[in-house]
Amino acid sequence: MVPPAAFFPSLITYHLFPLHAPLTLYVVDAPFGRFSRLTSKWNLPGNAAWAGMELVAPVTLIATLCSASRPPLSPPARVLAGLYLTHYLHRAVVSPLLLSPKRSPLHVTIPLAAAVFNLINAYLLAIGLAFYAPTRLSWRFWLGVTGWAAGFVGNVYHDEILNDLRRPKGKRLVLADLPEDDDPKAGRYKIPRGGLFRYVSFPNYLCEWLEWTSFALAASPYPLIPVPSLEALHLKPGLAKTASSIIAGVWWPSALLAPPWMFVLAEITSMLPRAMSGHKWYQEKFGDKYPSSRTAVIPGIL
DSSP string, the chain: ----TTHHHHHHHHTTGGGGHHHHHHT---SSGGG-----TTEE-HHHHHHHHHHHHHHHHHHHHHHS--PPPPHHHHHHHHHHHHHHHIIIIIIIIII--PPPPEETHHHHHHHHHHHHHHHHHHHHHHHHS-SS--HHHHHHHHHHHHHHHHHHHHHHHHHHTTS-GGG-SS-SSPPPPS-GGGTT-----SGGGGTBS-HHHHHHHHHHHHHHHHH-SS-EEE---HHHH-PPTTHHHHHHHHHHHH---SEEE-HHHHHHHHHHHHHHHHHHHHHHHHHHHHGGGS-TT-BSSSTTT-
Report yes or no: 7 and 124 within 8 Å, Cβ to Cβ. Answer: yes
Mean pLDDT along residues 30-46: 64
- The answer on pLDDT for 184 being more than 50 is no
pLDDT tens readout for residues 80-112: 999 999 999 999 999 999 988 888 888 888 889
pLDDT of residue 53: 94
Nearest partner of 17 among 213, 240, 220, 263, judged by Cα: 263
- pLDDT by residue (tens digit) across 200-230? 999 999 999 999 999 999 999 899 999 988 8
pLDDT at 182: 54
Residues 6+ apart with CB under 8 A from 28: none
The whole-number average pLDDT for the span 50-67 is: 94
Between 251 and 302, residue with greater pLDDT: 302
Q: pTM value?
A: 0.89
Percent of the chain with pLDDT over 90: 57
Q: What is the pLDDT of residue 255?
A: 93
The whole-number average pLDDT for the span 255-270 is 95
Structural domain spans, the chain? 7-32+41-289
Q: Is residue 31's pLDDT more than 70?
A: no
Which is more confidently placed, 212 or 180? 212
Residue 8: which residues within 8 A CB-CB, separation 6 or more?
A: 227, 228, 233, 244, 256
- pLDDT of 154 > 90? The answer is yes
The whole-chain average pLDDT of the chain stands at 87
pLDDT at 168: 78
Of 43-47, 114-118, 149-153, 284-288, the one with minimum mean pLDDT is 43-47
186: confidence class by pLDDT, cuts 50, 70, 90: very low
